[in-house]
Amino acid sequence: MIKVSVIVPVYNVEKYIEKCLDSLVNQTLKEIEIIVVNDGSPDNSQKIIDKFVKKYPNKVKSFIKENGGLGSARNYGLKHIKGEYVAFIDSDDFADLKMLEEMYNLAKKNNSDIVLCSNNLLDENYRILKVESAIINEKINNNLLKYKLAAWNKLYKKELLINNKFEFRSNVWYEDVDFTTKVMINAKKVSFIDKPLYNYLLREGSIMNNSNLKRNLEIFYSFDEIINYCKKNKFYKKYYSEIEYLCIYNIYICGIVRIIRTNNNMKEKKLIINEYKKYLNNNFKDFKKNKYLLYMSAKHKIIYKLINLKLYTLIGIIFKIKI
């Protein structure tokens, strides 16, 4: 019996993939399968993957497909899973050796649909920059708003994903925002381990470090997908305040700060910031009255006020660390 299927999308990560796969083949939980999906990577990643397949033929499974982006590779992997639970591990990151065992045991104990863990944020030399909790707001007792929406810090019950036909969008950024939101809406039981069991590498060229301003607008596709999904399933009214707050947090606060922190000139930044504000106003005209704004952290409240005052340069000076 395979307890956990791990899906690892691969593209141009020959420098990192060995460390990632080492952390998975040496997991203390032995009943796992590692599904490695080469998304048309032009580098030597496949040679490294082949070494692991040869050494661990019963554990590592290799698939090669045409390039379609991170979401497409994860979807491809989902078609081949046999495990009771599923984890998504990015190929430039790596897992604590006890990650899957601890998360799986908690999932079984609580009959959880989702289990989350915290993560270490690392630089390119694998030095820990900080420990990030999966909880982004302890004051809000709502699974949809309480936890980070990343795909990679979670263990998912396979039935939840397969029965609802959940998939990632392809060839876009922020594909895990709408995926995780839809999964969270449908999860009956969510559990959390307050340990940094996942190691997230903040490397040059990642979305968090990317100065391609226009691609940051692709977060709109995520929220369009969330809004359409909720309307189609007739619970948009039920989750309106939550979706509105997610949009405020991810676009108006985190998104704008991300734009401010790029190396682009302020004129270019303001164009994107204005698009962000326009999106909020078009979809949530009264977003400044959202009931969850009261529960924001002190830091986010300050950012929110400074954005309202258009004091973008001051935000860049004050907030030197990523939020």
Q: What is the pLDDT of residues 33-58, one digit of tens each?
A: 999 999 999 999 999 999 999 999 99
Is the whole model's pTM more than 0.85, yes or no? yes
- HEC string for 215-250: HHHHHHHHHHHHHHHHHHCCCHHHHHHHHHHHHHHH
d(CA 148, CA 144): 9
Tell me: do 198 and 227 sit in the same domain: no
| Residue ranges making up the domain that contains 58 | 4-207
The mean per-residue pLDDT over the stretch 8-21 comes to 97
Polymer length of the chain: 323
Q: Is the pLDDT of residue 225 over 60?
A: yes
CB 107 within 8 A of CB 155: yes
Q: Tell me the per-residue pLDDT of 235-257, one tens digit each, with 9 for 90 and over.
A: 999 999 999 999 999 999 999 99
Shared domain check, 48 and 64: yes
Is 121 inside any structural domain?
yes
Say whether both 159 and 126 belong to one domain: yes
User: Taking the CB of residue 286, how many other CB atoms lie within 10 A of it?
Assistant: 8
- Asked whether residue 65 falls in the same domain as residue 136, the answer is yes
Last residue of a domain, one of 207, 225, 255: 207
Domain total for the chain?
2
**Residue 48 falls within a domain, yes or no?**
yes
Between CA 178 and CA 200 the distance in angstroms is: 20
Contact 263, 316 (CB under 8 A): no
The reply to whether 306 and 185 lie within a common domain is no
- 288 and 150 share one domain: no
Question: Do both 277 and 314 map to the same domain?
Answer: yes
Residues 6+ apart with CB under 8 A from 141: none
Dihedral (CA of 56, 58, 64, 65) sign: negative
- 323 belongs to a structural domain: no
Does residue 135 form part of some domain?
yes
What is the CATH classification number for the domain harbouring 93?
A: 3.90.550.10
